[in-house]
Chain A
Amino acid sequence: MATAALFILLFACMFMGMPIAIALGLSSVTTILMFSNDSLASIALKLFEATSEHYTLLAIPFFILSSAFLSTGGVAKRIINFAIDSVGHIKGGLAMASIMACMLFAAVSGSSPATVAAIGSIVIAGMVRSGYPEKLAAGVITTSGTLGILIPPSIVMLVYSAATEVSASRMFMAGLIPGVMMGFLLMVVIYIVARVTNLPAQPFPGFLQLAKSGGIALGGLMLIIIVLGSIYGGIASPTEAAAAAAIYAFLVAVIGYRDMGPIKDMPWRKEGEGMASVFIRNTVQMTLAIPRSIYNREVNKVVLDAAKVSMMLLFIIANAMLFAHVLTTERIPHSVAETILQWGLPAWGFLIVVNILLLIAGNFMEPTAILLIMAPILFPIAVQLGIDPIHLGIIMVVNMEIGMLTPPVGLNLFVTAGITGRDMLWVIKSVLPWMLLLLFFLMLITYVPQISLFLPEYIDAMKGY
């Protein structure tokens, strides 16, 4: 009875177009008031606790802030140059370089649509110019853009660990191998396509040029190294790593790359400027740039944009915690698990059901919303069936990736349509073959748990647990 009320209310509210946070909160509060004795004061207290007692959740605003500073066209361009210099000389190299650029940019930005927009608007045109079919170019970029949520640091993974209380560090460890593998898989397929259809290769620019573009890109890529290094090494928690990342991203964007802020586009060395003058001018400008950023319009806008997204996410999470509270007090996952065990559904059968359920949900909802609604239900069942929670998390994230490619709400499709100026149907057709690859990859992830679990277990073993 309570279960029915909860879900009917939730879906009714959601499909009315209400903000998801309020749909979650309203359905939970109403169910609590109807079926239990909790007072409104205690529910209000719960909401306050949900926003003020979860230190790990703070990683979300900090990562969003750091990605807001680095999700710019300038950073994308530097990463693309580096990727083209390193793999462009292979057959089909430009496409491979684009995939590599997507992987790297995805790790820095943590967002799939942003990756497609930034990398796609530069490389799709470039690929067409050097003789690639536009359909191939669009399909590859739209698909590899989804890696944004799989390659750590990923905001979607943080949301999963918020919903299930699985360690975010371990999720970040688990995502690395699947993410790199997925990128590698795409590259191999591109290489085969390039061999068959004789796609062009770029000339190798020489090691000096590679080192130079690598050095320039490293400014942004250091962020990944700092974050993953400190988390994998057990030096810092994700929250602390994220705070450091946000400050580092600010320094790189404003002082290193000078893509925004008070000394925007100011060259490190003006033409014909003496070394002493370069040193003094830069030191003074850089020192002044930090206080000047406080009232710089561009910097303010980046911070405000990050604030908007993060409070939206945190408000949903707070309400989702009320929802999860209702689920546990009504013992809903427990009774679902019992039913499933009674049916004799084995773990692999359960995983098929999970995948189908998530793929359908992915058509209509955003990844964070799906995770917050589904994870608290699926998690206890998976545990009863002996499925590792980390593995379940990676399966869910890969499903969300596919959801970004399926209409009507596939975010990446909209972005690609916007960049190429084509209609949705054309984009969907271009993505279709790559989506099949992604589905194959989903099967692989689902039935070979070692892909996800190897790294976290290896790191645990190394630390001697």
Chain B
Amino acid sequence: MLGKILGRLEESFLCLLLVSMTFLVFAEVVARFGFNAGIHWAQEITLTMSAWFVLFGASYGVKVGSHIGVDVFVKMLPRNVHRAITMLAIVLCLFYCSLFLYGSWIYLSKLHMIGIEMEDLPIPRWMPTSVLFIGFALLIVRFLVLLWGVVTHKTDGFHLADEAKESMHIAEEIRAKNKQEEAN
């Protein structure tokens, strides 16, 4: 239950970031053409949101399987070899995350110590940058969950996106509509 609510919150947060970036850039265009004015803080905020969107979203992508990768070769291997390779790959992913987690911690603590503010907004710079740490911490959590899934035989490999499969939902929608029309 709590997991479900957290999941919904995560999704809403990401959607909100995407939608507000779109509106902000659009508002800037409208301000420029309609009122011959600019919104001077808009660009910095949009770009900060984009960083949050990407770094916060990366771990969500691991959860729902939206990352792309090359899995044609590992899928041809016997099941246990495939699982072993996946475990090694996840450990390597965890290593990658920890390197960045450590690096961002040092960077953030330096930023905090210096205490500089953002260019256009009176916000200390370490605050928006903290998503580096948050994002990689979440990524570690997601990879640990995935590793557990492989260990307990719930899955064999990374859950990777398949654009061809995703496009099929358009085909299914059309098929369903045709059936509906035939029935009428």
Contacts and interface: CB of A to CB of B under 8 A. Distances in A.
Interface of A: 13-23, 25-26, 29, 33, 39-45, 47-48, 51-55, 57-58, 61-62, 65, 71-73, 76-77, 111, 113-114, 116-118, 120-122, 236, 239-240, 243-244, 246-247, 300, 303-312, 314-316, 318, 364-366, 368-369, 408-409, 411-412, 414-415, 418-419
B26 A58 contact: no
Contacts of A55: 43, 46-47
A17 B74 contact: yes
Interface of B: 11, 14-15, 17-19, 21-23, 25-26, 28-29, 43, 46-48, 50-51, 53-55, 57-58, 60-62, 64, 66-75, 85-86, 88-89, 92-93, 95-96, 99-100, 102-104, 106-107, 110, 129, 132, 157-158, 160-161, 163-171, 173-175, 177
B18 A65 contact: yes
A42 B110 CA distance: 11
B168 A18 contact: no
Given A52-B48, A365-B70, A39 B22 contact: no
A47 B21 CA distance: 20
Contact of A236 (B29, B71, B89): B29
A312 B68 contact: yes
A384 B181 CA distance: 60
A41 B48 contact: no
A247 B18 CA distance: 12
Contacts, number: 246
A311 B14 contact: yes
Contacts of B22: 61-62, 65, 243, 246-247
Contacts of A118: 167, 170-171, 174
A40 to B, nearest CB: 3
Contact of A121 (B70, B85, B170): B170
Contact of B29 (A111, A122, A244, A408): A244
A307 B15 contact: yes
A58 to B, nearest CB: 6
A135 B11 CA distance: 42
Contacts of B160: 17, 19
21 contacts: A16-B86, A17-B71, A17-B75, A17-B86, A18-B89, A21-B67, A48-B51, A53-B47, A73-B170, A120-B171, A121-B170, A121-B175, A303-B15, A306-B18, A307-B15, A309-B161, A311-B61, A366-B68, A369-B68, A414-B165, A418-B168
Nearest to B109: A41
Contacts of B168: 117, 415, 418-419
Contacts of A61: 18, 21-22, 50, 53
A40 B106 contact: yes
B174 A76 contact: yes
A243 B70 contact: no
B74 A16 contact: yes
A15 B60 contact: no
Nearest to B65: A308
From B19, B23, B175, residue with most partner A Cβ within 10 Å: B19
Nearest to B67: A19
Contact of A52 (B19, B47, B64): B47
A181 B48 CA distance: 41
B29 to A, nearest CB: 5
Given A58-B25, A121-B174, 15 more contacts: A17-B73, A17-B86, A19-B61, A19-B69, A33-B99, A52-B47, A58-B47, A62-B21, A76-B170, A114-B167, A243-B22, A247-B22, A311-B57, A312-B66, A415-B171
A455 B106 CA distance: 49
Given A311-B58, A314-B54, A17 B25 contact: no
Contacts of A15: 70, 73-74
Contacts of B161: 308-309, 312
B86 to A, nearest CB: 6
Contacts of B158: 17-19
Given A22-B96, A55-B43, A55-B47, A304 B11 contact: yes
